[in-house]
Structure 1
Amino acid sequence: MQWKNVSIQSSADRDKAKTMLRFNVCVWTVWLLYAGAVCEEDTGACELRPCHNSGVCQSHQDGYRCLCPRQSTDGPLYGGPNCTDALPGCDGNPCKNDGVCSPLFQDNQQAYTCSCRAGFTGSRCQTSTAFSFETSGYMHIETRLPSPEKTLNVTLSFRTDRPFGTLLQSRADDLLFTVELVQGRLRLSTRRGQRSGEPVVSELPLSAADGKWHTMEAWLGSEEDRSGLRLVQPACDEVGCARESAATRAPQPEQGDDLPEPGLVHRSLFLGGVGQGFGEGEAESADLAAYFLGCFRDVFVASRLVVPATPGDSLAQVNVTAGCGGQDECEDSPCQRRGQCVSRGWRRHICQCYRPYEGTVDCAEEYITAGFGDGDTASYAVFSLDDTLDSGSIAISMFVRTRTLSGLLLVMANSTSQYLHLWLDGGHVKVQAISSESLVGHRAVSDGHFHLVTVQLEGNLATLFHSAQRQGSIRVRPVAVQPGDMVYVGGLADQRDSGPFGGHLKGCVQDLRINRKRLQFFPIATPVASYQLEKLVDVTMGCSSDDVCTDNPCLNGGACYSMRDDFICICQPHTGGRLCEEVRWCELSPCPWTAACQPVANGFECVTNVTLRNDRTLSYRDNGKISRGLNTVLLSVRTRQTDATLLHAKRGSEFLTVSLQRSHLVLELQASGGQASHNVTIQSRTRLSDGHWHTVELSMEDPAQQISRWIAVLDGGKERGGGEHVMSEAPSGNLDFLREGADIFLGGLGPEAGGNLAGCLGPVQIGGLLLPYYEDTELSLPRPQDERFIMTHGGPSPQYGCWGASVCEPNPCLNQGACEDLFDTYLCTCPSDWTGPQCQNNADTCAVQPCVHGNCSVSGQGHVCSCEAGYTGARCEEDTDTCEDNGCGLGSTCLRGLVNYTCLCPRNMTGPLCNEKLPEVPWHISMISVSRGQMELQLFQRGELL
């Protein structure tokens, strides 16, 4: 046992902390209708802000004190009177095991302290406080405490998944205290040696056997003090996890019994279990269930830390391991072959293995496969049964692997007859019991793979399973298996007896079982319940087969490897398929660098774009080996030409033309369907002559018919965002005339008519066959496919790739505009200060103040003038004629104002528009003055001014 002093905050430290805290006192005053706050704050020297580097200043009557930060996440720490002294004590993080370092500056020296996480202690958190009991063991602690301290306090954290086990036992003279797990819950029991009756028991409500860390506190009192137990965890806040009981409830010793030594209280404490001689013989009868299996950490006995003994220490401990390595073994997935790991307590597990694997520890062992019929021999095995199996439930199961369609799998027989047969018929499993009707499985098992076959006999019902799938049931007479019955596997001793069931088996059998007992042809190391093997005739270990690679069926240099009555071909690079018959031509790099290799059926094609100009056309014919139906055309085009022939093909009166007319796509087709020719025309609404790539898909609506309507899909159709889908009104035939010597031209109507496409074509397909842009002489390998079109022109090769006119060299965009090539035209992206097709115009069109009497605002590449009142015109340069279309009455005069007009009425007329008559009154009107924006009138009557 080792005692470790623990750093606990003393009363002096607490007083020191109190002096470091000062509070500002605010006195709230309410008087009459006035409410306010009077705050007295002791600022003093802190007004000068003497503390640096995030230090907090606290004033007091003798000056101030700086509280410097103790931890930082983004920079160095500082200390000293003003938080200006760098504290490098934590550089390099001297604290181990994730301890948190805090630097110090004491007595003019740099130092540090480490705050350790749970499970570690020491000046640098270098010592683990955890230890474990991986099997039955204990740790013994013997102390003598002064009699005034009659209560022994124990605090510890523990972790286990076992619901039973003793955490500690303590003996104080004749009193025995036990803290243990009972059904996962902590229990404290107190009794007086062997002479007491039932112990005094206190039990906590929550389970603590869940493999997680839990902290408990126990205080073990003497005769006059109470004992108790507490579990520290958040869930206890709701249900309460503290129990206390009086030790004096235990029976008192009778007179004459041994009494404790005066002045001292003997304390004997065991952790994790009980040592020999403790508890007056109790330990001798204790079994493994009484021991604790799990981990302890941070164990404090009477406020002192307990850690395991090091070599040479005299601490009494048995099977104590430093550290906590007792994790759930299933976390490391010890079970192989997909076996399921099941935990069986602390550091114990079992593996539930999938068939045909075995091993409770790791499922690493596989039942040895038995081979039957190797070299066409009549092989078989015989087992004897040694127990009685009634018809209540008998299950016969095995793994079977074969490629033959017939053969005997299993026969069960007694001394008088054969009462169960299991065989292959047409590759399917067949079952017959005691001359009943036979049952045939639905799924074949003759594919060379292992299949789990099970026959279940229950009363008068026999059921066949293939893996876990039920294949059917039949009514049978109840089957009773007796000791001495025999099981034949693979065939019978007399070959003639095996004939009605397909003869001897040629294949493999593995993991044969009747109920839970095995029938092992070759025993495995793991001990399992098995029936007795009586005879093994020409049965081989493992699943070998005849050599079927003698004639090497693999093509293109492939290597043949024999399997069970089968073979596999290991192909050379760039080949594949079961017989290596498929050549991966594109892996041989047959195409020029300007093209991409595209695999096609039984070959390859080199794909690229081509540029056609200067009446250049490409011509093709079929190679005479095309047998597929031709009912589709796929091409892509990029041009700014409004009228051009893209594809033209003809043979006799039948022809196909795909062209651009006024930028619209036009399909013209005349093809025979039966005896007559049918002509159709399709024209798109979409314009294609915009310099962008466009795809064109042409196909028959119903390829199975001789004639059908044709469909044109542009740019993927509406499903792909904005394309077009057009269908012909009339039907026509297919394009099979193109495989019968038709001339096919790309880019024009042929050399005689002159090609007229100036643009680019992408890959062109007719019936899924590409029209090549390269001749065979330009490739490193000849095209191996049978069905293909061939080039017939003898001129120079086309220009590969899509190349428009060099419209951006030199740069046509002014004022540092960026030129974008849009195929034979360009687009200038201008800086923000410039606009126009070539960035030639200043974007700020209001800079020259074009508006004479108004405000200018920029609009697009121009400007708009908002005129002042009284002005009009594009530049607000014209006066507004307010008298135009005026409403003044007949004989009146319109007087133009800035915004409105005024009517000057003749005699006897009045009103705003001079359309009302005046009574006969001798009025006289005299005009004094009229000026822009203001008119002054003077009215006289009988010579007097009104």
Structure 2
Amino acid sequence: MWPWCLNQQRGHQVWGPRVKGAASSSLYLLCPGWSSGFYITTPPALNETKQTKPNHRVWNLPLEPHGLLSVTGADPCRCVTCESEVDECASAPCLHGGSCLDGVGSYRCVCAPGYAGASCQLDVDECQSQPCAHGGVCHDLVNGFRCDCADTGYEGARCEQEVLECASAPCAHNASCLDGLGSFRCLCWPGFSGDRCEVDEDECAAEPCRNGGQCLQRSDPALYGDAQAVLPGTFSFHHAGGFLCRCPPGFAGDDCGVDVDECASSPCLNGGRCQDLPNGFQCHCFDGYTGLTCQEDVDECRSEPCLHGGTCSDTVAGYVCQCPEAWGGPECSVELTGCQGHTCPLAATCIPTFKSGVHSYACRCPPGTHGPSCGQNTTFSIVAGSPVWALVPVGGPLGLALRFRTTLPTGVLATRNDTQDSVELALVGAALHATLWRHGTMALVLRLPDLALNDGYWHQVEVAFSVATLELRLWHERCPDQLCVVSGLVAAGPMASVAPGPVGPCFVQLGGWALVGCLQDVRVDGHLLLPEELNGTVILGCERREPCQPSPCAHGGTCVDLWTHFHCDCPRPYDGSTCTDEIPAATFGLGGTLSSGSFLLHQLPGPNLTVSFLLRTRESSGLLLQFASDSATGLTVFLREGQIQVEAPSRPAVVLPGRWDDGLRHFVTLSLGPDQLEDLGQQLHVGGRLHPADTQPWGGPFRGCLQDLRLNDVHLPFFPGRVENSSWTSKLDTGQSWNLTQGCVSEDVCSSDPCFNGGTCLVTWNDFHCTCPDNFTGPTCAQQLWCPSQPCLPPATCEEVPDGFVCVAETSFREGPPAVFSGHSVSSGRELSGLSLAFRTRDPEAGLLRAAAGRNFTGCLGRVSLGGLPLPVARPRPGAPPGAREHFSAWPGTPTPRLGCSGAPVCASSPCLHGGACRDLFDAFACACAPAWEGRRCEARADPCRSAPCARGRCHVRPDGSFECSCPPGFSGPRCRLPVLPKECSLNTTCLDGSLCQGEPQSTNCSCQEGLAGWRCRPSLPCEDNPCLNGGTCRAASGISECICSAGFSGQFCEVVKGLPLPLPFPLLEVAVPAACACLLLLLLGLLSGVLAARKRRQSEGTYSPSQQEVAGARLEMDSVLKVPPEERLI
């Protein structure tokens, strides 16, 4: 029902909130005079907004069915209800599924998609707007259309998207796809075809490989990538076109059409001729060679053709026999007689020869001679500055060989020159050098640096060179196999001297400007140079007198042999040609005077500077050297607290180790580098300065001796008039000195009579020595000796102490009272910080120092000292002088201990039984038992059957202590090992394997066949005779017997008592391992016994030094009632 206002009155329109589903806000209709609202329901069929006349109905009703419409007013409206409305939709006027909306007097059709018209009778033509693009054909559909894009190259609902034909990868075999409009094109790799490159062309179909070659397509991926790959690399379509021919041996080429020439690589060696064959070759070898490639030299020595002990050397197609001296000929079959009646000199060796059937001889000449009879001399001398030379014809092997002797370390021995190259053989620092020069440039140097060859003896050397190598050889006793060889490659290529060879002879020079010595047997390119072929001053022979025999150098100088003369290397401070001149020393401050010296240096002998001198002093401080200028002080060398110190401006001081003030002569060397020579100064002050106050910072003036002062090798003289090195006169002005005494003069220290008690004073350079009379000693004879008067009674000995003597002796302590001493006479200032004593005992625990009650010590004590004072265990003889002023003394009323070390008479009671011998071990004994007895006191009878000596039967002990075996039937012998043989042949005597029984006078025996043994001729069965001793069990294993020994025994047959040495078997291989094990065992036992002995000795002998707390008391008892801690028992 719809509300109308009464009498068609116009109601008020009020807009309210939008209701869910409404197109706009809801409209409320208010009737005039309404004071309150009420609710009405909308028609159930209402499903959309109802269009009504304005001001008469409510429009824009909610779409929801059964919605509520709120109408408000002051008074209730009186409305009329039209209960019958005509339904215009009852006739279904809407076609094609359209929905009918009934209205008042009308309807409205809501058409289904694709239809229009009042009754939805019209089909909408969606193709009218031409929605299909790019020529697509539009097909109208109900409420839609369809575009046919065939043959347009496009796709999509409206044919708006271009079709990408290559997106589906239509091209096979990795071909490239070119996209077109409605089409595509494939670009195929070589070897593939088809619209889509789907065809793999078979390149092998035409059989392109010749001579039986196998055709392989490159497009086959299986030919790549694994260990048996035919084609290199990995498969790629880029290289997949074509084919590959795998050729059979002997053929090559892309199609195997080329016959390989196996002779092209020259496989035939040693001059063999190669014949090419299909897939092979054949070598035709020269005589003397064989093998597939003529690589094998036929060993003609295999048949041993050389007779009489000759040595065969194989050659090409032949052999050469090295015959003994008495034989010759090709096979050493001819006895050589050529040396019979030879004329070779005694020093030469006759070599018999046999050529062309003629016997002759040749003389092997000693070094230095040549010729058929060794009558030509090849030795000559070379003089420095006068080399000799010669021209040598070409044609021989290139090289230089000679023997030389010299004492000079450096010099040229020989030089070989041709038009382009030069080889020089020389000594450099006594080592042999060979130098190759090419076109004036050094190309190679060979050295033998470890051998000094300037020893005056003959040395043989050789230099050989070839196309590109240089080799240096030296025959010397210190070389491996008497020959040292060093070689090198010439990097510049072949030498000019090698084929075709130099134009004209080569030039050879022997000797040089520095070398003096002798040469002999000089060979250049194999040509022997005789002295008469040399140019220059040639001195035949090698005569010389050794200038250093005997040595002319005095004062231990070293004589340097310069071949024709000598040079003395003199020790400092000696000088002169034979070291007979001593550079005088200078004494500074003699008698308390002020002494100094100074030198003015024009320049320093740089860049490095070594300052050296001899020093002797007993003063602990003083200025030694100082470099200075007019305005500043430079380097200073001085003594401080007996040590040498070096100071330089802006540098830390350097202290030389050791003390230098002991009165002995010391050699001092100071080495300065370039950075230490800055601002050194040109003035050198020695021993002091003109003003003594200037030396106070460095200990004052020096007192003592300085000698042989040098800067580098330049001597600085303290006293003028001595001939000095003239080469440095321009660098050094004459020095000046004040109050220096020539020579190292001592002070007269005996003038004050320092020796007491009649001692004689002897000056010992700034010190003295007192020769004391008897009974006095000490540096000044002030200390009296007491022991020479023998104040102690034997067995005590006298011991000197600082102020007297003490009688000391070994003492024995046994059940008697302790020895007690008092320290009342010991100075209270003496620190009794230690006790030392020697003792011998067998007590495992006994005190040596009494501090509390305990068991007394039993044993011997040696020298005992407390705080450095020995204890006077023995008293002086009557009438002896008094002892030391500071001493220990025996406690009043205590007995004097027994002197000497003696143990208890342990063997006096004959503790060893049954004839055993007793041995005294100091408070202990050991018994050496008679046979058949054992035990500590030989109290137990030994059981000889304990080791089970009987192989069979029972063991019995005889009265004398030996054993006897009772054998079972069938066995006999001392140990029951031997079987008992039957006395005659009978049925009970069976010889096995067909052997015969033979009767003998005492028993029977079987005559065994070969391979059998034993008294019954059968193979020995393992363990049959039980070889195991001492109760061992025999076990058969692999046909042999093995003994399983009982406890306490070992060895192959259990014959060795464990702990006793095991006999070593042979051979050596079986000796090594047991011996090593035995040594290791003995070592461990030795260490163990050493530890036990040391522990035992710690109980019997040692030195004990307790702490101060144990000896601080004034009373000391020399037994022990204090248990000594083990860790403090020994020192």
Question: TM > 0.5 between the two?
Answer: no
| Higher radius of gyration, 1 or 2 | 2
More strand by share: 1
TM-score in terms of structure 1 length: 0.43
Q: Normalising by the residue count of structure 2, what TM-score does the alignment of the two structures yield?
A: 0.37
Q: Name the structure, 1 or 2, with higher relative contact order (CA <8 Å, separation 6+).
A: 1
